[in-house]
């Protein structure tokens, strides 16, 4: 199914963002960001360091409170809902993959426990079933079954990141936030992870917002692209269009610099 | 210090009335919200934190001159810790004391719930080292508060999951977490899980005081208390699979006692009052004849329940969580008199 077909099936965006603004004192974190995200769509956010990508993502995921703007998820006003409900969303419908797996994993808990946590958080009370699902998910992210009782501290960086992804996807979220998920990994490890991510996104029909400074990552994963500079969106559109025919001078610079690499 | 603590030199039960009022307000709030940890301004007490200053302050705030006080440590009335606290209140409050559970109006305890069923009108005060059951996996106080407020207790089951993954079963045998009235998850203090069933549906008032961490929480009479578990790994209170060698009791919590250098050992009730009561009524255990009558209650090497009966035997007992040593005898060897 192509993106266009998917979008035609449903004209309701899964996530609608309007005029989202976050300041740190006088400094702008991100300003007046607006976009729609449709079910099954992958939106890439690119921009140089300090352009507001992480700020935007953490405001969307509710880790920080935006100063202004609206976030509507599946018809519900996220900023107006009580914290209980929002935190529940973030344990069920949403997932957040941190750049540093240490921020997204419990390093003192076994791989199986890490994957099982979200299941237990939403009420799973059958050990055998929790363990079975954890084993399933470890296999899906290509972690050997006999590592289920090992702690993530014994894992390589790439494995930790795959574990973090399994831990996030086990409850079947619909919307996944990722902040530089391949950052800090070796190039070959990155390629394997991207491959895995692409497969999971396609198979599960996930909607994803992925932040990266790596244009190769968005080229591979993102249907649509948003380019940020100094906290503002300077250009957005279909990924291939933006990358092959950038309109904004800043995007042109970004694209050319990657082409030179 | 002994002189300083003589009645008359201090207000009744050592604390001034204003402090007691403050603690009573915290206690009332704790009873109104079962299982919720109420912050209170813990006072300096003439004993180190490890000696159960939280329990002592709660007891001080509850005592009236007519009370009869019992103090136990690991079930025994005669350990240094229990003796010191009992003496402290004898001197500062002049209240009567007793070793008989049935006769006590207030019982301060560390690590046990008495075997003799409690009655309406009694108050059981627990010494608590670490009141926060979520602490071991989530060290941030701001976050654990939020988790309680929003009833996000998935982490508690992660701990139990880890137990089963590592030991084949839930190995937590002390301070086994409970859910109170279907709402707050609570640490019952380092009592053996054998005692957990006594927490619920109990006619007495149960108060928990943590001095260093400045928290008071409570179980009002007849509270619903459930020990956390999994459907396929249900909670099981366990004890050593033996009878008491002194009184023959088959359903009391036992201490393992080393009797000689040749590996001799015996199992005896950890609740000394319960055991003595049974012997006084003529009950006899396996070794009761050998020990000259009436045998002095031997001191256990430590408050272990012996090998648990539920299959932990092979190496499991060593893996089971020992009682934290923060509160009670573990902290400093000297009694209050020696350290003041
Ligand atoms: N916690 C913070 N406090 C103050 N300023 C911040 C904070 N986080 C980010 N900023 C500032 O906000 C801007 C956007 O940062 P960030 O969202 O981290 O960008 P990116 O993820 O694109 O590198 C930068 O100027 C940064 O210095
Ligand atoms: Mg960033
Ligand atoms: Zn006995």
Quick one: closest CA in A to B153, which residue? A121
Pairing assessment for the beta strands B106-110 and A68-73 based on DSSP bridges: unpaired
pLDDT of B305 reads 40
**Distance from A141 to chain B by nearest Cα, in Å?**
20
Q: Which long-range contacts (CB under 8 A, 24 or more apart) does B150-154 make?
A: B150/A83, B150/A84, B150/A87, B151/B183, B152/A87, B152/A91, B152/A121, B153/B179, B153/B185, B154/A91, B154/A117, B154/A118, B154/A120, B154/A121, B154/A122
Q: Determine if ligand 1 sits within 6 Å of the CB of residue A229.
A: no
ipTM of this predicted complex? 0.89
- The verdict on a CB contact (< 8 Å) between A83 and B150 is yes
CB pairs under 8 A between A and B: 55
The residues, ordered by sequence, that sit 6+ positions from A132 with a Cβ below 8 Å of its Cβ are none
For ligand 1, atom 16, name the residue with the nearest CA.
Answer: A52
The confidence score (pLDDT) of residue B19 equals 95
CB contact under 8 A, B137 and A110: no
Using the Cα atoms of residue A22, residue A24, residue A26 and residue A29 in order, give the sign of their dihedral.
Answer: negative
Is the CB of residue A27 below 6 angstroms from any atom belonging to ligand 1? yes
Neighbours of B325 (CB within 10 A): 13
**Which residues of chain B are modeled with pLDDT < 50?**
1-3, 292-294, 301-340
> Cα-flanking dihedrals φ and ψ of residue B87, to 5°?
-65, -40
* pLDDT at A256 (0 to 100): 86
Q: Before B53, cis peptide (omega within 30)?
A: no
Report the residue of chain A nearest B231, measured CA to CA. A126
Task: Provide the 3-class DSSP secondary structure of residue A125.
Answer: coil
Query: What's the start-to-end Cα distance of chain A, in Å?
Result: 33
CB A51 less than 6 A from any atom of ligand 1? yes
A116 in Cβ contact with A99 (< 8 Å): no
Positions in chain A short of pLDDT 70 = 1-10, 258-261
Sort A48 into a burial class: Cβ within 10 Å, 0-12 / 13-18 / 19+: middle
What is the pLDDT, as a whole number, of residue A164?
96
Three-state DSSP state, A79: helix
What is the reported pLDDT for B293?
A: 46
For residue B130 the two structure tokens come to 């670490």
B contact test, residue of A82, A90, A115, A120 with most B CBs within 10 A: A120
CA nearest to B311, candidates B143, B195, B173, B104:
B173
Question: Residue B157's pLDDT is what?
Answer: 95
Distance CA A140, CA A144 (A): 10
Please indicate whether residue B62 is annotated as part of the active site. Answer: no
Tell me whether A106 touches chain B (CB under 8 Å): yes
- For the question of residue B244 being annotated catalytic, the response is yes
Q: How far apart are CA B287 and CA A103, in angstroms?
A: 58
Q: Tell me what pLDDT residue A241 has.
A: 95
CB contact under 8 A, B231 and A109: no
């Amino acid at each position: 199914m192509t993106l266009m077909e998917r979008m035609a099936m449903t004209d309701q965006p899964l996530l609608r963002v309007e005029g989202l603004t976050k300041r740190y004192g006088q400094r702008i974190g991100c300003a007046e960001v607006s976009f729609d995200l449709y079910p099954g769509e992958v939106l890439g956010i690119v921009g140089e360091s300090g352009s507001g990508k992480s700020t935007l993502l953490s405001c969307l995921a509710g880790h920080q409170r935006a100063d202004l703007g609206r976030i509507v998820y599946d018809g519900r006003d996220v900023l107006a809902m009580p914290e209980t409900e929002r935190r529940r969303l973030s344990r069920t419908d949403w997932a957040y993959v941190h750049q540093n797996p240490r921020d997204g994993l419990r390093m003192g808990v076994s791989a199986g426990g890490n994957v099982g946590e979200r299941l237990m958080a939403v009420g799973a009370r059958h050990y055998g079933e929790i363990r079975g699902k954890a084993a399933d998910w470890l296999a899906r992210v290509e972690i050997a079954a006999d590592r289920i009782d090992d702690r993530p501290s014994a894992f390589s960086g790439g494995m930790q990141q795959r574990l973090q992804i399994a831990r996030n996807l086990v409850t079947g979220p619909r919307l996944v936030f990722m902040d530089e998920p391949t950052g800090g990994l070796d190039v070959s490890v990155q390629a394997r992870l991207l491959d895995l991510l692409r497969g999971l996104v396609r198979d599960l029909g996930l909607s994803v917002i992925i932040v990266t400074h790596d244009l190769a990552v968005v080229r591979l994963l993102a249907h649509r692209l948003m380019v940020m500079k100094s906290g503002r969106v300077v250009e957005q559109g279909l990924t291939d269009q933006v990358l092959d025919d950038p309109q904004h001078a800043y995007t042109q610079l970004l694209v050319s610099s990657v082409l030179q690499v | 210090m002994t002189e300083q603590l003589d009645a008359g030199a201090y207000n009744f039960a050592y604390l001034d009335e204003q402090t007691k009022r403050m603690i009573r307000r915290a206690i009332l709030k704790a009873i109104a919200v079962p299982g919720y940890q109420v912050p209170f301004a813990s006072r300096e007490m003439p004993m180190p934190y490890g000696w159960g200053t939280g329990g002592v302050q709660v007891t001080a705030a509850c005592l009236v001159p007519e009370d009869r006080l019992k103090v136990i440590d690991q079930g025994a009335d005669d350990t240094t810790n229990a003796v010191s606290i009992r003496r402290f209140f004898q001197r500062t409050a002049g209240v009567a004391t007793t070793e008989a559970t049935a006769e006590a109006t207030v019982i301060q305890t560390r690590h046990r719930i008495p075997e003799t069923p409690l009655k309406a009108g009694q108050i059981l005060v627990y010494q608590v080292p670490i009141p926060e059951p979520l602490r071991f996996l989530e060290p941030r106080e701001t976050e654990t508060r939020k988790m309680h407020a929003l009833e996000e207790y998935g982490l508690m089951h992660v701990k139990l999951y880890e137990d089963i993954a590592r030991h084949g079963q839930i190995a937590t045998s002390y301070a086994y977490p409970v859910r109170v009235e279907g709402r707050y998850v609570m640490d019952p203090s380092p009592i053996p899980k054998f005692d957990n069933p006594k927490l619920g549906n109990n006619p007495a008032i149960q108060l928990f005081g943590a001095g260093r961490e400045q928290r008071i929480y409570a179980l009002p009479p007849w509270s619903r208390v459930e020990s956390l578990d999994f459907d396929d790994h249900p909670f099981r209170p366990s004890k050593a699979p033996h009878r008491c060698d002194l009184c023959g009791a088959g359903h009391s919590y036992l201490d393992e006692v080393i009797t000689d250098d040749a590996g001799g050992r015996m199992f005896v009730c950890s609740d000394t009052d319960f055991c003595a009561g049974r012997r006084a009524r003529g009950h006899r255990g396996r070794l009761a004849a050998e020990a000259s009558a009436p045998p002095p209650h031997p001191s256990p090497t430590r408050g272990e329940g012996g090998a648990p009966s539920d299959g932990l035997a092979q190496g499991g007992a060593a893996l089971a969580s020992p009682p934290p040593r923060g509160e009670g005898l573990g902290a400093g060897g000297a009694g209050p008199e020696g350290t003041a």
